[in-house]
């Protein structure tokens, strides 16, 4: 190895060592318990780098040191804070992810405040029956400003000694998945009211408590909130708005010590698609609000197939919610939580294709994954006519 290469590797080693030391210094919390260890943890990377270079030479020492830095960062990201008496508010705990999360956090020893749409419903009753006395139920419709304010007063009174550690904005609705042209404006508005405006108002209301505790704000978005998916124009737009809100709040609240995370799960069986009665109501509303020419172009059979899509949706979803629960738990307790979590099979791959490949590659990929079985009547007629020619 010539002198130039040796000097270059030496300076590179010093640079990596310094960068790692500065990052440790920057991310270290300024609590009294950690101030005493701050200098030690800043010096250790430098000493380790010098030791590696002295024993293994510049090249080998740099490789070993960088590997150990990566391992250290990985282990640091996995480190979790103790549960202690941390209180967490969860919205949408009647069913699905919110219901399972309330049970999971209760089992781990959290003080769970489960917001439910119906305090006398079966989901609330099951939480009363199966969870500990630490869990309390809260009547909470996130679109009802009065209920949100009342919830703030009740939660403030309950956690005045321990403080509120976390808020999980989980409440959400799907609406009837359909082509964006077919979805009624009422569905667009309802998705925005529940999935976005409800989460924003709840966050703004409870942020004084989170700032006081330097706690966590976790927003459950969706894979459809990060990438465009056919038939999810209303739902995806509302979740995309929530994801953007999460990103901005993550930046703005960092100065207060509040950490914000967005969860983008893939397909999980949560019951968000609703019941048969709800589907019939949504389908009726969709058809009644369509202009005559649009209804004719798409065809009655295409519109009826939308219900079939809902019926088969659970077959392609994972019934095991543990990846989502694990991601939310990490966002609540990790010393250095991620800003974005993508739990579930296939959640990260479409996001990578969408972000790093030309859009036509993503569109082709999605068309092969989510191609609808039926085709609008006019397009079928056009295809048949072209074949006859």
- The 10 Å CB-count burial string (b at 16+, else e) for 107-139 is eeebbbbbbbbebeeebbeebeeebeeebbbbb
Tokens of 87: 């209180």
Question: What is each CA distance from 168 to 58, 282, 299, in whole angstroms?
Answer: 48, 28, 42
Tokens of 229: 């998916």
How far apart are alpha carbons 333 and 82 in whole angstroms?
Answer: 7
Which of 26, 74, 232, 235 is the catalytic position? 235
Would you say 94 and 275 are in contact if contact means Cβ atoms under 8 Å apart? no
- 155's enclosing H/E stretch is helix 145-158
Tokens of 186: 């009422």
Q: Can you state the angle between helices 300-312 and 276-288, rounded to 10 degrees? A: 150
| Residue from 225, 220, 205, 221 nearest 144 by CA | 205
How far apart are alpha carbons 95 and 270 in whole angstroms?
Answer: 7
Residue 87 main-chain phi, psi, to 5 deg:
-105, 135
Active site residue 235: yes
Which residue numbers are catalytic? Answer: 235
């Amino acid at each position: 190895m010539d002198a130039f290469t040796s000097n270059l590797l030496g300076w590179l080693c010093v640079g990596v060592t310094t960068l790692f030391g500065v990052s440790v210094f920057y991310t270290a919390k300024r609590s009294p318990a950690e101030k005493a260890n701050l200098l030690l943890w800043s010096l250790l990377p430098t000493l380790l780098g010098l030791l590696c270079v002295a024993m293994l030479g510049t090249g080998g020492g740099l490789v070993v040191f960088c590997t150990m830095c990566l391992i250290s960062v990985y282990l640091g990201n996995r480190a979790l804070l103790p549960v202690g008496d941390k209180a967490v508010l969860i919205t949408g705990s009647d069913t699905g992810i919110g219901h399972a999360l309330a049970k999971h956090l209760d089992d781990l020893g959290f003080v769970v405040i489960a917001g439910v749409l119906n305090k006398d419903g079966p989901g609330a009753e099951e939480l009363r029956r199966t969870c500990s006395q630490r869990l309390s139920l809260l009547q909470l419709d996130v679109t009802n400003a009065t209920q949100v304010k009342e919830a703030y007063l009740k939660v403030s009174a309950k956690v005045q000694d321990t403080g509120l550690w976390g808020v999980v904005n989980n409440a959400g609705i799907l609406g009837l998945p359909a082509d964006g042209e077919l979805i009624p404006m009422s569905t667009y508005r309802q998705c925005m009211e529940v999935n976005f405006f409800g989460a924003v108002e709840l966050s703004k209301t409870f942020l004084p408590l989170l700032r006081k505790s330097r706690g966590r704000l976790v927003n459950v978005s969706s894979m459809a909130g990060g990438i465009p998916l056919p038939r999810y124009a209303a739902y995806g737009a509302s979740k995309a708005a929530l994801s953007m809100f999460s990103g901005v709040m993550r930046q703005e609240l960092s100065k207060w010590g509040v950490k914000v995370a967005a969860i983008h799960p893939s397909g999980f069986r949560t019951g968000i698609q609703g019941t048969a009665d709800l589907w019939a109501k949504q389908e009726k509303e969709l058809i009644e609000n369509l202009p005559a020419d649009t209804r004719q172009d798409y065809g009655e059979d295409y519109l009826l197939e939308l219900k079939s899509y809902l019926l088969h949706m659970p077959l392609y979803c994972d019934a095991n919610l543990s990846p989502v629960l694990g991601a939310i738990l990490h966002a609540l307790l990790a010393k250095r939580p991620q800003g974005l979590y993508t739990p579930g099979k296939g959640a990260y791959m479409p996001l990578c294709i969408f972000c790093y490949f030309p859009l036509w590659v993503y569109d082709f990929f999605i068309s092969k994954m989510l191609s609808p079985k039926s085709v609008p009547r006019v397009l079928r007629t056009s295809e048949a006519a072209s074949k006859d020619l």
